[in-house]
Amino acid sequence: MANSPTLTATGWAWGRGLIQREGLLRGTGTALRALVDLGLDYLPSRKRLRYGDIDFDFEHGVNTTWAAPTLAVRLRETFTRGKYQPSEPGLFRRILDELKIDHGRFTFIDLGSGKGRTLLMASDYPFRRIIGAEIIPELHEIALNNLKRYRSERQKCFVLEAWLGDAREFPFPNESMVVYLFNPFPADVLGIVLENLGKSLATLPRETYVIYHNLVHEGVFHAMPFLKEMQRTEQYVIYRAN
């Protein structure tokens, strides 16, 4: 397990990165807009939206919605990964159903796994094992608790793991993989993560699929020659690694 940086260190790194990329004035403006948006999230109208599709939580006795995050969590989201948003169950199952694979040969990996809902939903499929990577300690702890509490008659995989740390340092296992990303990172971080995946596959080739859901930084994927597009919709793209 990797160490997650302190909130102060993460905030300083975020601020320095903005200034380096955008200059002092524009970087300061970007930071202020992000912090104002964070404050607006505590208005009553926005608070109601945090609970999202809470039916999944009621059905399985878990906590996976973006409900009642602490200020520390919201700051970490601002500094690192953007606002946590759990995948919608029906769409997620439709995405996985598009993969005609022998699940038992594959490890499912969710990069930016938050509270772990995707890990729980993926366990309805007979994957070899399931791993979630999350940088925010508070979300990681909730995910660990969810992995312990989750019960479903549909569950087929019972080897679920949660890894705490920066996805840029995630050690991709030497196994065939299905890698899932629900737009969890800014473009620069996403680029490093995909480059690391490409290096890992170049060192040890193995069958790998990459699912990108919420196509905000799709250009980063286009710059990765080892990824070949298999299927596209308006909401997600499935790639296969060459």
* pLDDT score, position 185: 87
* H helices, E strands: number in the chain: 10, 7
For β-strands 176-181 and 208-213, DSSP reports them as: parallel
Q: Nearest Cα to 113, choosing from 100, 123, 104, 105?
A: 123
* Rounded Cα gap, residues 137 and 160, in angstroms: 18
* Rounded Cα gap, residues 69 and 218, in angstroms: 28
Task: Write the pLDDT tens digit of every residue in 179-207.
Answer: 999 998 888 889 999 999 999 999 999 99
Q: Which fold has domain 89-241?
A: Rossmann fold (3.40.50)
| Structure-model confidence comparison of residues 68 and 169, the more confident one | 169
Residue 1's pLDDT band, with cuts at 50, 70 and 90, is very low
Mean pLDDT on 126-139: 93
Task: Write the pLDDT tens digit of every residue in 45-104.
Answer: 555 555 556 888 889 989 888 765 666 666 666 666 556 677 899 999 999 999 999 999
This prediction has a pTM of: 0.78
Phi/psi at 25 (5° precision): -70, -50
Q: What's the token pair of residue 196?
A: 């690391």
Which residues of the chain does CATH 3.40.50.150 include?
89-241
Q: Nearest Cα to 220, choosing from 193, 171, 186, 187?
A: 187
* pLDDT score, position 71: 63
Sheet holding 208-213, edge to edge: 160-164, 129-134, 106-111, 176-181, 208-213, 236-241, 227-232
Angle between helices 24-40 and 7-22 (to 10 degrees): 130
* Rounded Cα gap, residues 191 and 26, in angstroms: 23
Residue 39's pLDDT band, with cuts at 50, 70 and 90, is low
- Burial class for 193, CB neighbours closer than 10 Å (0-12, 13-18, 19+): buried
* Rounded Cα gap, residues 178 and 18, in angstroms: 32
